[in-house]
Amino acid sequence: MRISFSSDLTGFPLVHLSDLGFDAQLWPVTKNQFASFATSDPIFDTIFQHASALNQPQKKAGTRPRIEHDIMTGILPEEALQFAVWLDNEEPTSDYALPAVEEWRAVYDALQYERCDPYLEEIEAYCASEPAQSWLQRILQTEPHTLLDLSLMQEGIVEWALDGESWVGLGRPDTGFYPNTFRPMQETVVPVDATQRMRIFGCRLIRVF
């Protein structure tokens, strides 16, 4: 599969997966990206403030901030879809969407054996905003080996995906952020209530081309 990259409206990279028919955000949506959207609507600014408060670093001496605390969690699927519309310049119908379970797993499968070193120069070129550049440097400090490592589809958060007509989660957070034994390629994380905000649930969008 040919893999290349581009940027979204927020200057964060998209990975172009030619054989799958869609692009995917390289990383789960960050607080910085969602904040840019939230400033366009007072209602979503309130949602942003409330949801962000669910995922804050612990204020303990000597505790290093975790990268997960800068990922936008606590949002609901319908809010992620509103972000998708904004990300597509508020077109009536957006090319961006939350992935189906099969689509999320197809991205995971496409990235898991690809060494990231050959792609880093291109990825850096498509980190078209200062926040994206900073985000890339933070992740590189973890010494990722593959594009999957770089993507945070594992050691990240739980991400919303559509399973038939139901919302479920996929991903394997770092156990320091949330203790778990999730196996995203074999099982989904079924929320008790998909209308309730959860500290570990965020999103990654795809864009159909």
Query: In a 10 Å sphere around its CB, with 0-12 CB exposed, 13-18 middle and 19+ buried, how is residue 100 labelled?
Result: middle
For the whole model, what pTM was predicted? 0.94
Cβ-based neighbours of 121, under 8 Å, separated by 6 or more: none
Q: What are phi and psi of 112, to 5 degrees?
A: -70, -25
Closest by CA to 157, choosing from 141, 166, 140, 170, is: 170
Per-chain mean pLDDT for the chain: 93
What digits encode the pLDDT tens for the residues 131-182? 999 999 999 999 999 999 999 999 999 999 999 999 999 999 999 999 999 9
What digits encode the pLDDT tens for the residues 17-34? 999 999 999 999 999 999
What digits encode the pLDDT tens for the residues 68-101? 999 999 999 999 999 999 999 866 667 999 999 9
What confidence score (pLDDT) does residue 60 get?
60
DSSP structure class, residue 41: -
User: How far is it, in rounded angstroms, from Cα 208 to Cα 95?
Assistant: 6
What digits encode the pLDDT tens for the residues 33-64? 999 999 988 999 999 999 999 998 876 655 56
Angle ∠(96,17,12) on CA atoms, nearest 5 = 55
